[in-house]
Structure 1
Amino acid sequence: MTDRRRLILICLCFIAFISLGLPDGLLGVAWPGIRADFEQPLDALGWLLVATTAGYMISSFFSGAVSRFFGIGRLLAISCTLTGAALLAFTLVPFWAAFVILGTLVGVGAGAIDAGLNTYVAEHYSERLMQWLHASFGVGITLGPLIMTAMLNLTGQWSPGYWLVGSAQIFLGICFFVSARLWETPASIKAEPSLTEDAGKVALTHPATDAKPQPAIASANFTASLATPAVWLSMGLFFAYTGLELTLGLWGYSLLTESRGVEAAAAGLWIAIYWGMFTLGRMVAGVFANHLGNHRLVTYSLILALAGAVLLAWNPVAWVGLMAIGVVGFAFAPVFPGLVSGTRLRVGEAHLANTMGMQIAAAGIGAACLPALAGVMADRLSLEIVPAFLMVFIVVLSLLYGASRRLGRHQIGIDPIDH
């Protein structure tokens, strides 16, 4: 019975990650219609992203305390319900200011889900399962543009896409309320059989016989973590990466339709392909994560992402630029879960719990700031600035990653080279 409960928990984790990705996938395709209805300029998206990030930061920063109070199951239930209600309300408000305020509520729900689940999975499951769980986020964010494109083709309006996804979020919230007790076993999750993956299958092992007991390490307090340079570098990684991922996801549709003359339906399909390749990349990474290790996986991904961004900027013929979108999506895929799994090696065990929430909050800031900055630059210059923007910040991310690895090795006294 215990093993069955744990398998159910993993399935619920997959569902939660899918629900987390759905709203993000809608916005890029819906934005031209939204800004037309509210008579907003191209870069007004930045205000919505800032509002969403504010909610995301608050909830993710304090997710540890909130999940301890409510329990992870109830936290997921409340967050999904709140997100769904806000998405439905998007279609009802008459003013842009109200739309932006609702974005804050969407951010609150997303931040709580993201930080809570990432902490839970990093503590209890393997790097391979982390990649597969984040692949389910890719499933959600891939379905988002497909849903919105289909609704635009059928109705000519963006609202039905939000009706559909908002209703699905509320339904998921109800499911999490019903199953909340499954998460409430007395922290005994570590004493029960643990799940590892072998050849793509979930198998059962027993920590009591398969692993040596590890001495407990006291957690650092919040102030000590904030005073640790390695923690700030780790936050910088998440700021840069998440901003890059969403920059192409949010502005790719506008780049294709408004700058490169691609038809709306085809552009929506290519943004879905971007997220679809993103999902495929995480599935592939799940197979090779334990073999390659986080360091090689992240390094190879950054190199491929830079190559894809160069092709997107070059765009010698239309099909090369379109294919480059898929390449970048595939390359970005393993980076976030790889960075999450490598947190302990960058900051040390004592700072792990504090850093996890901090870097998820930093990811939210990056998700608002970098796409917003790209939008401002596109409005002032041209949408063709987006590929060059990606190239520059992929290089910045690579430099931050190298610095974080070196600081973790020298300051914390660990040698993560082969991990």
Structure 2
Amino acid sequence: MTPKRQFKIGLILLAYVAFISLGLPDGLLGVAWPSMRADFALPLDALGMLLVASTAGYLTSSFFSGRIMARMGVGGLLAASCAATGGSLLGYTLAPSWWAMIPLGVGAGLGAGAIDAGLNTYIASHHGESLMQWLHASFGVGITLGPIIMTTGLNLFGAWRVGYVVVGVAQLALAGCFAVTASLWRQNGTAGEADAPMRLTDFQTPLRETLRQRGAWLSILMFFIYTGIEVTLGLWAYTLLTESRGIAPAIAGLWAGSYWGTFTVGRVMAGLYAPRVGANRLVQISLLGALVGALLLWWNPAQAVSLFGVGLVGFAVAPIFPALVSGTSGRVSMRHAANTIGMQISAAGLGAALLPTVAGSLARYTSLEAIPVYLATLIVTLIVLHHQSTR
């Protein structure tokens, strides 16, 4: 293996490790929320405050990710991101009140946003659809481990804070690893090649010009709704299964984890066939599968059907986000792709905060059984938007 190839593989592996670290905190919250809510004596939909706080940090850092990467390099960005996230998660374990959690949520969002946008742009620019799917499968690995870590902490110690200690320490350890390897990212896999093709990151298109593209706005809406779908079920599945459908907490915790487990498997498999199927076709098939899963969860003739519906939605939605990222150039052209990817990631963060919050409000004022209905409605909306984007 040539040194150049070793260099490229090393960068890819580091990117995958970074995405595993991004997924861990997201996987903790859904299982921790019932216990956290009881500790702080909060209403069901108070989760929205923490989501909005973390999203504010996420949107800020993802929007300015290009400038941050230019100054710090990708390695420095990874190190700073993991340090900010790890410090914030450990802060959760020491928070004396709910209101102390809110600024810590901003810090966790700042840590996640820039690395998410930066690595999506990097992989879209330098690699194909398979590596993009596997990058996001790495996120699925982290978000699958999160519920398992939290469920284990609750079962063994009866405390949600234990899970955040484990993940916070792991994040700080990763920050140290990325700081040591920061120099690897100061080079580019095509540096020194006079005949290297133009990359997405080579264009310096004004943002206002990109905002005039219809495809850019359709992309923003699709990412906003997609992450709402993904995070809504991830956050509320455990609460729905335990508080509304009477499933034992240990079983519900495992199946909440299975949502992210099938999600990860779906992305690993998609990396094998995505180049042959194509991004648009892959999104269409995935959305239909997700709709079937949501309808099964809504129908709920038996506990087994509900549990199967959760897993099916996780498996089906898995390839959508990376496929939409890979298809960005087709919707807006290469000239506008880098700008659009950054805006898509920002919109995804906003959707991940706002749409699950709406689900919580619906559940509070009606019942938790409103969640699968809401989920199916979002999936149908995304099907319509994606059809419009491919016309």
Shared fold (TM-score greater than 0.5)?
A: yes
Q: Conserved in 1, the CA contact under 8 Å of 2:86 and 2:168?
A: yes
Per-residue deviation, residues 98-154 of structure 1 (Å, max 9, x unmatched): 101111111111111110110110000110111011111100000000000000000
TM-score w.r.t. structure 1 length?
Answer: 0.90
Per-residue deviation, residues 354-411 of structure 1 (Å, max 9, x unmatched): 11111100000000010000000000000011100110000111111111222xxxxx
Which one of 138, 151, 154 corresponds to residue 153 of structure 2? 151
| Alignment CA distance shift 1:215-1:396 (3 Å) | closer
1-structure distance, mates of 2:368, 2:159: 24
- Alpha-carbon distance, 1:190 to partner: 2.3
For residues 13-412 of structure 1, the aligned pairs below 5 Å read 13-185=15-187, 187=188, 189-191=189-191, 213=197, 218-406=203-391
Gaps of 5+ in 2: none
Q: Once structures 1 and 2 are overlaid, which stretch shifts more, 4-13 or 216-225?
A: 216-225
Q: Which residue of 2 aligns with 1:415?
A: none
Q: Once structures 1 and 2 are overlaid, which stretch shifts more, 324-333 or 396-405?
A: 396-405
Letter in 1 for 2:386: Y
2-structure distance, mates of 1:310, 1:192: 53
- Alpha-carbon distance, 1:45 to partner: 0.3
Letter in 2 for 1:292: V
Letter in 2 for 1:181: S
Per-residue deviation, residues 290-327 of structure 1 (Å, max 9, x unmatched): 11011111100000000110000001111011111100
2-structure distance, mates of 1:61, 1:302: 28
TM-score w.r.t. structure 2 length?
Answer: 0.97
2-structure distance, mates of 1:353, 1:141: 26
Letter in 1 for 2:332: V
Letter in 1 for 2:76: R
Q: Conserved in 1, the CA contact under 8 Å of 2:126 and 2:199?
A: no
Letter in 1 for 2:104: L
Letter in 2 for 1:53: T
- Alpha-carbon distance, 1:330 to partner: 0.2
2-structure distance, mates of 1:366, 1:355: 16
Letter in 1 for 2:373: A
Gaps of 5+ in 1: 194-206, 407-419
Letter in 2 for 1:127: E
Q: Conserved in 2, the CA contact under 8 Å of 1:219 and 1:349?
A: no
- Alpha-carbon distance, 1:76 to partner: 0.6
- Alpha-carbon distance, 1:91 to partner: 0.7
1-structure distance, mates of 2:380, 2:58: 26
Letter in 1 for 2:23: G
1-structure distance, mates of 2:358, 2:309: 22
SS of corresponding position for 2:390: helix
2-structure distance, mates of 1:215, 1:264: 49
1-structure distance, mates of 2:163, 2:218: 38
SS of corresponding position for 2:94: coil
2-structure distance, mates of 1:371, 1:100: 17
| Alignment CA distance shift 1:215-1:100 (3 Å) | closer
Which structure: greater helix fraction? 2
Q: Once structures 1 and 2 are overlaid, which stretch shifts more, 77-86 or 220-229?
A: 220-229
Letter in 1 for 2:109: G
2-structure distance, mates of 1:167, 1:214: 40
SS of corresponding position for 2:348: helix
- Alpha-carbon distance, 1:266 to partner: 0.6
2-structure distance, mates of 1:87, 1:75: 18
RMSD, matched Cα? 1.6
Letter in 2 for 1:365: L
Q: Conserved in 2, the CA contact under 8 Å of 1:49 and 1:368?
A: yes
1-structure distance, mates of 2:203, 2:63: 20
2-structure distance, mates of 1:334, 1:346: 18
SS of corresponding position for 1:90: helix
SS of corresponding position for 2:278: helix
2-structure distance, mates of 1:121, 1:248: 27
- Alpha-carbon distance, 1:191 to partner: 4.6
Letter in 2 for 1:63: S
1-structure distance, mates of 2:152, 2:35: 14
- Alpha-carbon distance, 1:8 to partner: 1.2
